[in-house]
Amino acid sequence: MSRDNKPLSGRSGRAEIDGFLRKLAATPRAVCPGKRGRLIFAMDATASREPAWDQACHIQARMFAETSSLGGLEIQLCYFHGFEEFHCQPWTGDPERLLADMTSVYCRAGHTQIEKILRHAGHEARAGRVDALVYIGDCVEEDPELLWRHAGELGLRKLPVFLFHEGGDAAAGRVFREIARLSGGAYCPFDASSPQQLRDLLSAVAVYAAGGHRALTDFSRGAGEAVHRLARQIGKG
């Protein structure tokens, strides 16, 4: 559910994408040979999010495909909707299983529960290795201080949060940016009318989670311009 905050443009500009990719390139990632990357894929499934959820159902298959040569990727789907409903699916390396889980979800009106996602991610990080947390949403209806505290704890555990922000809600953008900063992750607004852009950026995070910076550099050679700029930025670093 969106609040009536003055919106910003939802379209990601070159500077915003470059900034996101610079953060991704600078994020530490220790590659564990023979082990799959592990990524928590979390989404707001309240009523306003239905179009983005449909996009994500198509995107997830590419995330698996891009990481298959790197040893693969395990994804855990987490989402919230309705009245205090928060769900986490089992970890899976099977794209068909993930797609089935995602297509069974119905978006329902409700308030954001981002704090539950961050708290759950901390629990998973304590139980075992997690390489990244991706969150896709459009607003924040919770106490920012509480969210920032959890984000700081994830930062201490080296679990970066990569936030993809649709809709341009200015207040949400400020909260998301601080979550990214405190966790050591990155923030990027995206334009819902350009699904290819979100697909490329999410794939870049998946490749990073599975294979680290070198794999990300290789991936960028065959990707779109947004991701291709990342290779140049890594080269300068």
Tens-of-pLDDT digits for all 237 residues of the chain? 433 333 334 445 556 666 666 666 566 555 555 567 899 999 888 876 667 667 777 666 667 666 766 667 899 999 998 888 899 999 988 888 888 888 777 778 889 999 999 999 999 999 988 999 999 888 999 999 999 999 999 999 989 898 888 887 899 999 999 999 999 888 888 776 666 777 777 888 888 888 877 787 777 776 666 565 444 433 333
What span, in angstroms and rounded, lies between the C-alpha atoms of 226 and 83? 37
3-state secondary structure of 221: coil
What are the beta bridge partners of residue 165? 137, 189
Q: Is residue 10 within 8 Å of residue 148, measured between CB atoms? A: no
First to last CA, the chain: 40
Q: Is residue 187 within 8 Å of residue 165, measured between CB atoms? A: yes
Q: State residue 237's pLDDT score.
A: 36
Q: State residue 233's pLDDT score.
A: 36
What span, in angstroms and rounded, lies between the C-alpha atoms of 139 and 228? 29
What span, in angstroms and rounded, lies between the C-alpha atoms of 20 and 171? 19
Q: State residue 173's pLDDT score.
A: 94
Q: What angle do CA 69, 70, 71 make, to 5 degrees?
A: 95
CATH pick for 46-212 out of 2.60.40.1180, 3.40.50.410, 1.25.40.10, 3.20.20.140? 3.40.50.410
